[in-house]
Amino acid sequence: MSLTNKDLNNIKDLIKVTISEDETLVRKDDLKYLPTKDDFYEQTVKILKKLDNLEGSMDIVSERQSKHSDQIEALEKIHPNGMHSLS
């Protein structure tokens, strides 16, 4: 039993598919530049701590800004147009 042209073409197509699938596989060498899982989580924790510190700072600044706004409003009531009344 010999192979026909159709059989050879089918084998050729199968080899092409196998080679193209192999080219898309990820290998260890492809991943060696990426951080390890532990390194990734360590960096993530650092970033989250910085974010938490920033949020705390924003709360403090927001509270101060609110207090200053209240003080400015009170002063504007006492001194309309930003001047002492000299009557």
Positions in the chain short of pLDDT 70: 85-87
Domain-located, residue 50: yes
Contact 38, 46 (CB under 8 A): no
Residue 37: strand, helix, or coil = helix
Domain-located, residue 59: yes
Burial 19-42 (b: 16+ CB within 10 A, else e): eeeeeeeeeeeeeeeeeeeeeeee
Domain of residue 14, residue span? 5-82
Burial 48-76 (b: 16+ CB within 10 A, else e): eeeeeeeeeeeeeeeeeeeeeeeeeeeee
- State percent of the chain over pLDDT 70: 94
Domain-located, residue 28: yes
- pTM score: 0.47
Instruction: State the total domains in the chain.
Output: 1
Domain-located, residue 87: no
pLDDT at 86: 67
Domain-located, residue 58: yes
